[in-house]
């Protein structure tokens, strides 16, 4: 785990609707960071109206916009320090160059009498090179010192996301690098507030997608399975998140013949392909196929293209955990599929069929509240 060195929970949101959602939950505006370096003017005015003051920027135009629309903002400069091997590098869109642009932007902010409070970065989603975090934290230290010389009260460091979240992946190596770098460049005695954006880390493995085979096309040496979810729904991650997925039959029968096949979504688009080539058991129409690690960037960006509905969520919980949580949280049994046959070490979906209303529904199984 990344150590709690001056850590405190903040909510990172990048547009007006998300800000409203978290405010409606009773979260104080001073615990929200508006983490979009390129904000529409209407969103800036709204953040000023609801006292969401902490926000990121990475260019001079944004500084002038903030000066005009929210001059009391607490600004966080986003720098670019990409892991070039990351699954989704973000530096092409956000983050200023560290050695030339960043110092100049701090000087412009000083001349505009704006309030710079910290530095942020995002090494890229699906970071593979942990050393990138150290380079970014070291660069942030230099900019902290430069900002302090300019008279800013530098007090916040946002180390972004990029942390692995799939089953079988580990954060240990990244955590070791981050912790060491924080000790070296931002010792706890300085009292700098450290925040992060570990969305994928928390959500990726929490959901398993259950899909139903509604059609099947067989040739001499290849079978095409058509399922009720595709790239316009949950599998948009194949197009926009550079993801790969692995299909598994819900009820695996070792006696069935393994065959070469492909998996396709339900829409009329020929590009709606989930898996180009794989080996699966021979299955029939009506059987269920499941996909693990479907919790990140799936449902929130799914669409009902061609009239196919967005999947519903069916929460599954181990009975022993339910007994532990039911008196602690505002939850009821109606919100979960209680599985008394749950066997430790096995996934809920491998034991009980997903509770979907019909073969035309695909559904997410929220596998556990506790990992």
CA dist., res. 10 & res. 319, Å (int)? 32
**Is the separation of the CB atoms in 310 and 266 below 8 Å?**
no
List the one residue out of 362, 363, 352 whose CA is nearest residue 317: 352
CA dist., res. 82 & res. 121, Å (int)? 9
- H helices within 215-269, ranges in order? 237-240
Q: How far is CA 315 from the centre of its chain?
A: 19
What phi and psi, each to the nearest 5 degrees, are found at residue 314?
-120, 115
**CB neighbours of residue 160 within 10 Å:** 25
Tokens, residue 309? 């509905």
What letter would DSSP give residue 235?
A: G
Report the side by side order of strands in the sheet with 11-13: 11-13, 32-34, 54-57, 74-79, 115-121, 156-158, 193-195
Q: Which residue has the tokens 């969305």?
A: 199
- H helices within the chain, ranges in order? 16-24, 41-49, 60-69, 101-111, 131-149, 172-185, 199-203, 237-240, 319-325
Q: Known catalytic residues?
A: 268
Q: Which residue has the tokens 């819900």?
A: 250
**Is the separation of the CB atoms in 204 and 296 below 8 Å?**
yes
List the one residue out of 49, 48, 54 whose CA is nearest residue 11: 54
**Is the separation of the CB atoms in 134 and 181 below 8 Å?**
yes
């Amino acid at each position: 785990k990344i150590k709690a060195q001056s850590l405190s929970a903040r909510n990172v949101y990048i547009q007006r609707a998300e800000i409203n959602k978290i405010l409606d939950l009773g979260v104080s505006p001073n615990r929200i960071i508006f983490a979009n370096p390129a904000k529409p003017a209407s969103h800036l005015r709204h953040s000023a109206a609801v006292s969401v003051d902490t926000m990121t920027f990475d260019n001079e135009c944004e500084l002038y916009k903030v000066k005009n629309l929210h001059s009391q903002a607490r600004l966080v400069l986003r720098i670019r320090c990409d892991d070039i091997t990351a699954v989704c590098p973000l530096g092409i869109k956000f983050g200023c160059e560290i050695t030339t642009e960043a110092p100049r932007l701090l000087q412009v902010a000083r001349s505009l009498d704006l309030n710079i409070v910290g530095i942020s970065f995002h090494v890229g989603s699906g970071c593979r090179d942990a050393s990138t975090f150290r380079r970014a934290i070291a660069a942030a230290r230099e900019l902290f010192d430069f900002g302090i010389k300019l008279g800013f009260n530098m007090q916040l460091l946002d180390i972004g996301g990029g942390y692995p979240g799939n089953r079988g992946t580990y954060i240990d190596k990244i955590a070791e690098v981050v912790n060491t770098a924080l000790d070296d460049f931002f010792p706890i005695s300085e009292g700098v507030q450290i925040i992060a954006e570990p969305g994928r880390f928390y959500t990726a493995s929490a959901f398993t997608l259950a899909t139903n085979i509604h059609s099947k096309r067989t040739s001499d040496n290849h079978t095409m399975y058509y399922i009720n979810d595709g790239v316009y729904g949950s599998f948009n991650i194949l197009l926009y998140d550079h993801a790969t997925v692995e299909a598994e039959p819900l009820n695996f029968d070792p006696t069935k013949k393994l065959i070469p096949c492909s998996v396709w979504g339900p829409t009329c688009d020929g590009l709606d392909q989930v898996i180009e080539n794989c080996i699966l058991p021979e299955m029939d129409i009506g059987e269920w196929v499941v996909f693990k690690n479907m919790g990140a960037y799936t449902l929130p960006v799914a669409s009902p293209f061609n009239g196919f509905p967005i999947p519903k969520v069916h929460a599954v919980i181990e009975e022993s955990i339910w007994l532990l949580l039911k008196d602690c949280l505002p939850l009821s049994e109606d919100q979960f599929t209680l599985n008394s046959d749950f066997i430790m070490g096995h996934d809920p979906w491998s034991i009980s069929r997903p509770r979907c209303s019909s073969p035309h529904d695909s559904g997410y199984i929220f596998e556990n509240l506790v990992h």
